[in-house]
Amino acid sequence: MNTKQKMTLLLLLIAVSACATVVSLPDSKESIASIKASFADKGIAKMDRLDQSELQKTCSDYAQKELPAEIRAQLEKAATDSVKYPASGKYLGDWKEGEKVAQNGRGLQFSDDSKTVNGGNCYACHQISKEEIAYGNIGPSLAQYGKLRGGPSEEIVKYTWSKIYSSHAFNACSVMPRYGAAGILSEKQMQDVMALLLDPQSPINK
Ligand code: HEC
């Protein structure tokens, strides 16, 4: 190694050790304080939205490590027990209305008011109808959802209702909104979205 190469190596080592000492990750208290400092109440969106539920706290604690099976089972059981099934026994509404709910991303935003009817914004995360080409892929494709599952059997209907009502029932730390448990969609809107996914007449099952 000549002197120039030695100097380059030395500078590189200094740079690497400097990085190692400067970078230290904030703990959860510091992270929360810094997130809170970046937001303010605006319209209907208030700061209490940043307060985590016990489930969310647990999921944050385990964000970088495996959630122990026992805790996972407890969280999923609590979510399953919270699911309210329609008293009428009717699970499938009108798929045309369901498509509108799935398309609608309004509601609960700072620019909405408390009278705005919430949408489901399902396309933000899922492919559903093949006519809609703008969709996100955080969640799996729901195209042909009912057809691929052999139609609306009681088991599939109850599973789908529970998943939409409280996504944590089947995946403790799911990022999907809890449409029933968090009061985002009404029972009627959920029945309509269910029809979009499961009614054999729904174009997504053709
Ligand atoms: C923020 C993203 C997001 C939104 C919005 C969202 N989902 Fe999901 N959804 C997911 C993710 C991620 C999964 C799979 C893994 C999980 O549950 O964490 C999922 C799973 C599902 C499943 C189960 C699929 C299967 O094969 O078992 C159904 C049904 C579903 N979503 C329906 C809906 C409906 C209906 C809406 C709108 C009312 C919706 N989702 C909105 C993220 C989302």
List pLDDT tens digits, range 173-193. 999 999 999 999 999 999 999
Hey, whose CA ends up nearest to atom 30 of ligand 1? 164
42: burial class by Cβ within 10 Å (0-12, 13-18, 19+)? exposed
With a 6 Å cutoff on the Cβ, whether 189 touches ligand 1 is no
With a 6 Å cutoff on the Cβ, whether 102 touches ligand 1 is yes
Residue of 80, 126, 132 to test ligand 1 pocket, by largest number of atoms within 8 Å of CB: 126
With a 6 Å cutoff on the Cβ, whether 138 touches ligand 1 is yes
Hey, whose CA ends up nearest to atom 32 of ligand 1? 164
Q: How large a percentage of the chain has pLDDT more than 90?
A: 84
With a 6 Å cutoff on the Cβ, whether 120 touches ligand 1 is yes
Q: How many angstroms separate the first and last alpha carbons of the chain?
A: 70
Query: For the residues 120-130, what does the mean pLDDT come to?
Result: 98
With a 6 Å cutoff on the Cβ, whether 124 touches ligand 1 is yes
Q: What is the pLDDT of residue 111?
A: 96
> Distance from the CA of 120 to the center of ligand 1, in angstroms?
10
88: burial class by Cβ within 10 Å (0-12, 13-18, 19+)? exposed
> Over the stretch 69-104, which tens digit does the pLDDT of each residue have?
999 999 999 999 999 999 999 999 999 999 999 999
Hey, whose CA ends up nearest to atom 27 of ligand 1? 160
Q: What is the pLDDT of residue 20?
A: 59
**What CATH class has 95-205?**
mainly alpha
Every domain of the chain and the residues it spans: 95-205
With a 6 Å cutoff on the Cβ, whether 59 touches ligand 1 is no
Q: What is the mean pLDDT of the chain?
A: 93
> Over the stretch 5-60, which tens digit does the pLDDT of each residue have?
887 777 777 766 665 566 778 888 898 899 999 999 999 999 999 999 999 999 99
> Over the stretch 138-151, which tens digit does the pLDDT of each residue have?
999 999 999 999 99
Hey, whose CA ends up nearest to atom 36 of ligand 1? 122
Full-model pTM: 0.88
β partners of residue 42: 45
Q: How large a percentage of the chain has pLDDT more than 70?
A: 96
Q: What is the pLDDT of residue 8?
A: 78
Residue linked to tokens 């093949």? 130
Could you write out the three-class secondary structure of 145-191?
A: HHHHCCCCCHHHHHHHHHHHHCHHHCCCCCCCCCCCCCCCCCHHHHH
Hey, whose CA ends up nearest to atom 13 of ligand 1? 139
Q: What is the pLDDT of residue 22?
A: 65
Q: What is the pLDDT of residue 7?
A: 75
β partners of residue 45: 42
Query: For the residues 112-135, what does the mean pLDDT come to?
Result: 97
Q: What is the pLDDT of residue 18?
A: 62
> Distance from the CA of 126 to the center of ligand 1, in angstroms?
7
Q: Is the pLDDT of residue 168 over 90?
A: yes
CA torsion, ordered 66, 69, 70, 74, to nearest 10 deg: 90
Q: What is the pLDDT of residue 16?
A: 65
